[in-house]
Every structure is written in structure tokens, then in C-alpha cells.
């Protein structure tokens, strides 16, 4: 069997959450999108002319991918509060940089340097 891992995330099939083989559940977990949305996309692709391709790809992934082990379910995924804390820290760092830049641009030093450059 095969595991696909890109950027620290591993593509599994999740039979416990799936309807047939757990391929849509695994892809949705890997792509961080709702499972229902992915299922709707799969059904629409089958309706609008990609029936054979979608069916072959689904069953190929169903047989190629390993099922997700029970201990790997939440491994390495940060919680929403951790993500919000990281985002808040990044925004505060950006805000501080903008304030320093604004302070420099409105200062006399910036005015004098720009006048020297014009000479």
C-alpha cells in the first residue's frame, strides 16, 4: 500500500468516516475541506461527463491508499486556538513594523534625507 505525504500531511483513506471506502473522507481531511463538499464535487463530476474517470480514480485510490491508523488522526494538526494565537502574533508583528515605518516617514530625519537626495 502507499502513503502520499506532502508538506507534512499524509493522504489516507478514512473508512470509519466514509460511505464506501473512505476515499472522499481522506481527501477532504487532507485538503482541509468539508467532506460533503468533496462528495458533491465527485457526484457533479460524474454527472457532467467524467463518470468513468471519476469512478476509476476513486477505486484506484481506494485500493492504493492505506487506511488511516487510529493514532495518526490528530497527529501534527494544530488546534484552532493555536492557529488564532499564531495569527494574532503575526498581525501584531506586522502592526509594529508599520508603526515604526510611519514614525520614520513622518520624522524630520526622513524629511532631511529626502531633501538631500533631491540635490
What is the 8-class DSSP label of residue 47? H
pLDDT of residue 8: 62
Dump pLDDT digits (tens) for 74-88.
555 556 677 777 788
pLDDT of residue 46: 85
pLDDT of residue 19: 77
Model confidence at 5, pLDDT cuts 50, 70, 90, reads low
φ and ψ at residue 89, rounded to 5 degrees: -65, -45
Dump pLDDT digits (tens) for 31-59.
888 888 888 888 888 888 888 888 888 88
Rounded Cα distance, 78 and 81, in Å: 8
pLDDT of residue 7: 56
Amino acid at each position: 500500500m502507499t502513503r502520499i505525504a506532502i508538506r507534512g500531511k499524509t493522504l489516507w483513506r478514512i473508512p470509519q468516516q466514509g460511505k464506501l471506502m473512505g476515499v472522499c473522507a481522506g481527501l477532504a481531511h487532507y485538503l482541509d475541506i468539508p467532506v460533503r463538499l468533496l462528495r458533491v464535487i465527485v457526484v457533479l463530476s460524474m454527472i457532467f461527463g467524467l463518470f468513468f474517470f471519476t469512478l476509476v480514480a476513486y477505486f484506484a485510490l481506494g485500493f492504493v491508499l492505506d487506511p488511516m491508523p487510529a493514532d495518526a488522526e490528530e497527529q501534527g494538526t494544530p488546534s484552532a486556538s493555536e492557529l488564532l494565537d499564531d495569527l494574532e502574533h503575526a498581525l501584531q508583528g506586522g502592526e509594529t513594523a508599520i508603526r515604526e515605518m510611519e514614525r520614520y516617514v513622518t520624522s524630520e530625519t526622513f524629511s532631511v534625507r529626502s531633501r538631500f537626495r533631491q540635490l
